[in-house]
Amino acid sequence: MEKKGRIRRYTDKQLADMRRRGKTKSDWKRSAAMSYDEIERSIAADPDEAGMVVDWSRASAEMPQPKAVLNMRVDKDVLDHFRKKGRGYQTRINAVLRAFVKAEQHRTR
């Protein structure tokens, strides 16, 4: 989606400060005054939402499985690659391993 190039990230403190200074692009008073029908019409008119249908009737909340503690040796350059992307590098390593496991399972079927 072309929107991804415009995404900006802020901390909750930065957003609170922006609201105090009136520097947000959101019209919160107008939004708070909208009726449910007005909100639905606004969403329907948004081209990014066109054709998006969410069926919540079959949704389920699944609690994540507890993680196992693991001490293992990894090549320094591999670890540096994940660490340089910032916080969450262990989660990204886990995601890569999970994708590998799923691919292996898919191949054996």
pLDDT value for 57: 87
Q: Tell me the pLDDT tens digit for each residue of 20-70.
A: 888 877 787 888 999 999 988 888 888 888 778 888 888 888 888 888 999
pLDDT of residue 13: 92
User: If you ran DSSP here, which 8-state letter would residue 88 be given?
Assistant: T
Going by C-beta distance under 8 Å and a sequence separation of 6 or more, which residues neighbour residue 10? 18
Cβ burial, residue 83 (10 Å; 0-12/13-18/19+)? middle
Say how far apart CA 94 and CA 109 lie, in whole Å: 23
From CA 14, how far away is CA 8, in angstroms rounded?
Answer: 12
Tell me the one-letter amino acid at 91: T
CA distance linking residue 74 with residue 76, whole number of Å: 6
